[in-house]
Amino acid sequence: MPQLQFKGRVFVENHHRAVPFHELTPVREKGLSEKASLHDNLILHGDNLAALKALLPTHRGKVKCIYIDPPYNTGNEGWAYNDNVNSPLMQDWLGKVVDREDLTRHDKWCCMMLPRLKLLRELLREDGAIFVSIDDNEVHHLRSLMDEVFGEDNFVATIVWEKVYSPKSSAKYFSESHDFIVAYTKQRESFKRNLLPRTKEADSRYNNPDSDPRGPWKSSDLSARNPYSRGTYSITCPSGRKIGGPPAGRFWSVSKDSFLALDRDNRVWWGRDGNQTPSVKRFLSEVKPGLVPKTIWPYREVGHTQSARKTLLQLFPDDTPTFTTKPFELIQRMILLATDADSIVLDSFAGSGTTAHAVLAQNQADGGNRRFVLIECEDYADTITAERVRRVIAGVPGAKDETLKAGLGGTFSYFELGRPMRQESLLDGSALPAWDSLAAYIFFTATGQEFDPSETDREIGWIGRTRSHDVFLFYERDVERLKNLALKLKDAKALPDWERRRLVFAPAKYLDSDFLHQYRIDFQQLPFQIYEAVDRWES
């Protein structure tokens, strides 16, 4: 498969692996939950690359639908490349605003996107889908990156969203009316697309001119362009007119025997005078309960930029954010098509929090229990992103829209991206993580499995189990106590006897290999052996 080449690629291809895991620090007063939890709806404030990495222990392979709206790279957005890649070239890029005069702006955009797409893929379920908003500036580069990360066979569609409802007379060449939404799956054969609800407009195309007892129907052409060896027969109309065969260059789509069977069942329409070229009757009662989505999404169905602006005006009447946002109905359609009732939906370029609004709106529409995960790196993560979600949940008394006025209900937990968990910080005690944070990091890194804090038992150090092991952590967030902490004989004897091998992480041990074997213990020293996966013993 062809590979997109760009300046800096060699330094970012594996950068997502070098990004350290960070602690996620709850800020309870900024959320709407009594107790902050990583299994709640989430809003994370911090660099989105580091935040995506921090989500791996609890959300890897769990996200059903991803929607992102990255910078379009128009040259007017004021974004800067800030990934701390260890290369003089990349360091020279840091903090510099990407504008139209920047001859490397497309390279920088690709460098920014590639590691994020790789982490997003790790978070996606096998039957999950990702939707990316983009315009003409980077759609060609995005397709190449997505083909590489997700596989060209997992491409679903490029959707055209009609984002404005009137042309701009000031346009130099053409008045731009659309954006793109590029859709991929993680494993196309596992992905099952939902149907859109049927509309009154779609149903109005069916009528019943012959009072058929089976109800309304519409006629469909009985001819097709595809060659069909049994589709060239002549037909006699009820009026007596003979039709020598299908229209020139076409073929009847069914054999003569099938056609006669349809006619006997009154499924062929000859026109009111019985003299027209036949068509087949498609009954409304027999069609699918929903509509197959098209690749063009009109603003009448999913909103436009001005409707999104009006929603923001209702939510923030006194201090409306100035940046452009998407209509929540647009994202709600993606959620409807790509999720089930208890899915997780992730947006790592959260902006004003539109994706959370869309998730809550869809939950109200179908009684679902979907959860959202939003990541926003800018300072307005609390004052705009989270504040919008608070108001959507609680309701806005002055809103014109009755749904916004009443509120959609729900909760969320707010987290700040904390310190990186580096081995050297454990060695020198400069930035010791909390027990729960280290437990999550160790369990995921060593086993590749999701960490569930509700199943831990801190008194005995148990942090979870794999197919072959129970995993334990001996750790204290105190440098002096940590220096003297070790797995001793009394600790080994006190471990629960669950008839499984024990994988124990501790700073040191005072047991020889015979004792470890006797007590079915595989010992891993902190912090050096975290990356020795359990697969070593399961192979």
The pLDDT tens digits along the chain (539 residues) read: 789 999 999 999 999 988 988 888 889 999 999 888 888 999 999 999 999 999 998 899 999 999 999 999 999 888 999 998 888 888 899 889 999 999 999 999 999 999 999 999 999 999 999 999 999 999 999 999 999 999 999 999 999 999 999 999 999 899 999 999 999 999 999 999 999 999 999 999 999 999 999 999 999 999 999 999 999 999 999 999 999 999 999 999 999 999 999 999 999 999 999 999 999 999 999 998 899 999 999 999 999 999 999 999 999 999 999 888 999 999 999 999 999 999 999 999 999 999 999 999 999 999 999 999 999 999 999 999 999 999 999 999 999 999 999 999 999 999 999 888 776 666 566 678 888 888 988 887 777 777 888 889 999 999 999 888 999 999 988 878 888 889 999 999 999 988 889 999 998 899 988 889 989 999 988 866 554 544 444 43
Q: 249: phi > 0 → left, psi -120 to 50 → alpha, else beta; which?
A: left
What's the confidence (pLDDT) of residue 58?
Answer: 87
Which one-letter DSSP state was computed for residue 323?
S
CA distance 110 to 287: 44
Whole-angstrom CA distances from 485 to 45, 173, 445 are: 34, 71, 22
Whole-angstrom CA distances from 307 to 302, 321, 336, 361 are: 10, 14, 20, 16
What's the confidence (pLDDT) of residue 529?
Answer: 56
What's the confidence (pLDDT) of residue 478?
Answer: 83
Strand partners, 43: 374, 414
Question: HSE on the CB side for 398, CA within 13 Å?
Answer: 7
Nearest to residue 39, comparing CAs of 344, 385, 336, 368?
Answer: 344
CA distance 404 to 71: 28
Residue type, 282: R
Q: Hey, what are 212's tokens?
A: 């058929």
CA distance 455 to 436: 12
What's the confidence (pLDDT) of residue 241?
Answer: 95
Q: Hey, what are 60's tokens?
A: 């890897």
What's the confidence (pLDDT) of residue 537?
Answer: 41
